[in-house]
Structure 1
Amino acid sequence: MHLFYPEVCQGCSTSLFKGENVLCFTCKAQLPIAYQHLDADDKVKELFYGRTEIAHARSLFFYEKIGIVQQLTHALKYQGQEQISSYLGKMMSEHMKTDPGFQKVTHVLPVPVHPKRLKKRGYNQVDGFGKEIAKALNAKYLPNLLVKTKNTINQAKLGQVKRSDETKSIYTLNEPERIPEGTHLLIVDDVITTGTTLSLCTRELQNIQGIKLYVATMSISI
């Protein structure tokens, strides 16, 4: 199949060569890495100040409206390129293996999507991302601990005020009793902008006694 329909780079649309996956080496070298960037780290944490207590939080990339990260995110969410999720999960894992802030994580949870959207897309866009991270951290993966109960519109098209109003009380815990006390749980998402989605998720998760929460995302909007 690849002889007649070669895989192409999700950044520049050129054919991929042997050893390249998802992105060509040129596009991969241009990725705006945010991990271990002090300003990016502070920005992620600032989004949760006064809203929810997060033990540690990081993003892999800076997200810009035009650029390779935007193209990757769009292809993942709207063009059926599910493999991008695992690809980014492996990249994130390489950073997290040496990050002491994540070494106590015992469980990994993806931000859930509504069943209707899941059926339409066919997958949760952060599922592969979360699974690769869980594997790297020797953590248990929990895809169904949180359930999204309201099918909201695309939040990327909303302003911060509307985004907050749109997403009130839309997540619920599913069988929280199976989570042991003292769990260190990492919740993963694609793009973090205002932090509203993750704040709402962590608000529900904090109903689990003794839980400690962590956050990791594919990118952070700048």
Structure 2
Amino acid sequence: MSIWTDLREFFFPRLCVSCGKRLMQGETGLCLACSASLPYTFIYNKEGNEMERCFWGRFPIVRASSLFYYAKGGKVAQVLYAMKYHNRRTLCVKMGEWIGSELFPSGFFEGIDFLVPVPLFRTRLRQRGYNQSELLARGISLKTSIPLCLNAVCRVRNNATQTHKSGYARWMNVEGLFRATPEAELLRGKHILLVDDVLTTGATLTACADALSSIEGIRISIVTLAWAK
């Protein structure tokens, strides 16, 4: 490392978002010990898996998967919080690369034409400076070479946070939340993969899929970093 890197590490040490220990060279966001203890779902490309069944009857989903299980206060929750609120953009991309690396051998990405991250409302995007779902998708793209489509769907209002809402309130909170744009016609006859950070009730992802379902011949799959099963 250069002297400038050494000085930066001394005054602004990189710390693990979970345990708070100093990160070693080559570690991003999480130390090796915390990375090794993350709760994998091992869903990968299992047809008709439980996560996929969450969307049956809501829209004609092709496949669905998530890399980790989410638990309140757990390591994955700490990662998600850092991604969304602590400006950890590199961590977002790294998590996307992790999704891509883990799911690629299973054939999960076969036939996917575009990655479509769930969009933020423009004011929230301006405040945060980035969309964590878009950065996740960029990480997946780095590992799979699947292109991103960023302008096919937009969020039409800044809905209140879903964090403390009941299941029913979550569904009411996302009614009419997304709208397909004229650029969505580029997805005619394509198989898209909606990308989001976490799946809870599925309300947000279903609302996003609904906005795109009128596109002729579109096929929709879903992937998230975490699943609050």
TM-score (norm 2): 0.91
In the alignment, is residue 216 of structure 1 matched against residue 212 of structure 2?
no
What does residue 79 of structure 1 align with?
86
Whether the 8 Å CA contact 2:188–2:217 is kept in 1: the answer is: yes
What does residue 207 of structure 1 align with?
214
What does residue 177 of structure 2 align with?
170
Give 1:128 deviation, angstroms. Answer: 1.4
* Distance (Å, rounded) in 2 between the aligned partners of 1:138 and 1:81: 23
* Distance (Å, rounded) in 1 between the aligned partners of 2:222 and 2:44: 16
Whether the 8 Å CA contact 1:103–1:137 is kept in 2: the answer is: no
Task: Note the alpha carbon deviations across 1:120-147, whole angstroms, 9 max, x for none.
Answer: 1111011111012123332220122110
Whether the 8 Å CA contact 1:85–1:125 is kept in 2: the answer is: yes
What does residue 63 of structure 2 align with?
56
The amino acid across from 2:213 in the alignment is Q
Task: Note the alpha carbon deviations across 1:169-218, whole angstroms, 9 max, x for none.
Answer: 01011224541532110000011011111111111111111111110001
What does residue 3 of structure 1 align with?
10
* Distance (Å, rounded) in 1 between the aligned partners of 2:145 and 2:33: 32
In the alignment, is residue 124 of structure 1 matched against residue 131 of structure 2?
yes
Segments of structure 2 that go 5 or more residues without pairing to the other structure are: 1-7
Q: How many residues align?
A: 222
Task: Note the alpha carbon deviations across 1:25-77, whole angstroms, 9 max, x for none.
Answer: 110111001133799x7221121011011111100100000211000111111
* Distance (Å, rounded) in 1 between the aligned partners of 2:69 and 2:206: 20
TM-score (norm 1): 0.94
Identity of aligned residues (%): 29
Runs of at least 4 residues off by over 4 Å: none
The alignment partner of 2:67 has SS state of strand
* Distance (Å, rounded) in 2 between the aligned partners of 1:65 and 1:5: 28
Whether the 8 Å CA contact 2:153–2:184 is kept in 1: the answer is: no
2:199 counterpart (192, 197, 218): 192
What does residue 105 of structure 1 align with?
112
* Distance (Å, rounded) in 2 between the aligned partners of 1:156 and 1:178: 33
Task: Note the alpha carbon deviations across 1:50-108, whole angstroms, 9 max, x for none.
Answer: 10111111001000002110001111111221222101101101122212232100100
| RMSD of aligned Cα (Å) | 1.8
The amino acid across from 1:4 in the alignment is F
